[in-house]
Amino acid sequence: MQVKSLQASPEQLKNLEDKPQPVAAEFLGTLLLVFFGVGAAVLAAEYVGSLGIALTFGFVMLALAYAIGPISGSHLNPAVTLGMFLAGRLDLELAVKYWVAQLVGGIAGAALLFLVAKQVPGLQTSETFGSNGFGDRSAVHINTGGAFVAEMVLTFLFVYTVLAVTHKVAVVGFDGLPIGIALAVVHLVGIPLTGTSVNPARSLGPAIFAGGAALTQLWMFIVAPLVGGAIAAYVHVLTHPQPNRRPRREMRVS
């Protein structure tokens, strides 16, 4: 049986780097993921519960995978981009552009959501606002170590799934379906624990507007997902054939 290459060609990478659309797509996609996903937690949690919030994240991710997946890969998450970079599918320059677009998009999405939330009488946003947390800010009061392990493992599952179902940079065909399902599943498990980050961009925006403990605990939801994404990239190399994998020094695109 012939094994498909999991490596993006230099021509594909150069095509992404030379055009503004992939970076713009990552900005817009992250903005929408935060607005709708975190919005379900901020505006509709009383009506949809944890299941509804998890499904919102999963369905939005699924929709965006089909909408912008062929353009940018629909990472919408610095941990996914890190995994793609370590797997040799993105050049560092493009990865940095994606990270900036995702973080700015996450802040912009949270800003729009904050504007809407302020129009709802009596809605609490200070130190909450869909932000992630542990200890007293966790529904089950998970401690620091437990929160770190949980976020790392949840992110591992999500990033590993993305790497396993995509063959190059873009999301094509039915690739978006398992990605959306994986994001919904990690939210079902993670919401009672930490509110589920698995995405530094998703955590940064809400924390800025929540303030207080949401900001002091933010480090957890940046570091743990990145560690999980990095581990996923290396485990993926062990479990999936990489017939055309090249040393990173050969990844440069002239």
Classify residue 100 by burial, with Cβ atoms within 10 Å: 0-12, 13-18, 19+.
middle
Q: What is the mean pLDDT of residues 90-105?
A: 96
Would you state the pLDDT for residue 171?
Answer: 66
Residue 246 confidence (pLDDT) above 60:
no
* 154 vs 47: CA distance, rounded Å: 25
Counting residues of the chain whose pLDDT is more than 70, the rounded percentage is: 85
In this prediction, residue 125 has a pLDDT band, given cuts at 50, 70 and 90, of confident
- 141: amino acid identity, one letter: H
Would you state the pLDDT for residue 251?
Answer: 47
Residue 169 confidence (pLDDT) above 90:
no
Q: Are 110 and 209 in contact (CB under 8 A)?
A: yes
Its CATH architecture, for the domain 10-239, is Up-down Bundle (1.20)
In this prediction, residue 22 has a pLDDT band, given cuts at 50, 70 and 90, of very high
In this prediction, residue 97 has a pLDDT band, given cuts at 50, 70 and 90, of very high
Q: Which residues neighbour 60 within 8 Å (Cβ) at sequence distance 6 or greater?
A: 32, 33, 36, 37
Q: What is the mean pLDDT of residues 49-63?
A: 96
In this prediction, residue 173 has a pLDDT band, given cuts at 50, 70 and 90, of low
Residue 71 confidence (pLDDT) above 60:
yes
Average pLDDT for the chain: 88
Q: What is the pLDDT of residues 183-192, one digit of tens each?
A: 999 999 999 9
Residue 27 confidence (pLDDT) above 80:
yes
* Contacts by 238-243, CB closer than 8 A, 24 or more apart: 239/164, 240/6, 240/163, 240/164, 241/3, 241/6, 242/6, 242/7, 243/3, 243/5
- Give me the residue spans of the domains in the chain: 10-239
Determine how many CB atoms are found less than 10 A away from the CB of residue 90: 25
* Lowest-confidence region among 49-53, 202-206, 244-248: 244-248
* Lowest-confidence region among 124-133, 139-148, 226-235, 240-249: 240-249
Q: Which residues neighbour 76 within 8 Å (Cβ) at sequence distance 6 or greater?
A: 26, 29, 30, 33, 61, 64, 102, 105, 199, 201
Residue matched to tokens 């552009």: 97
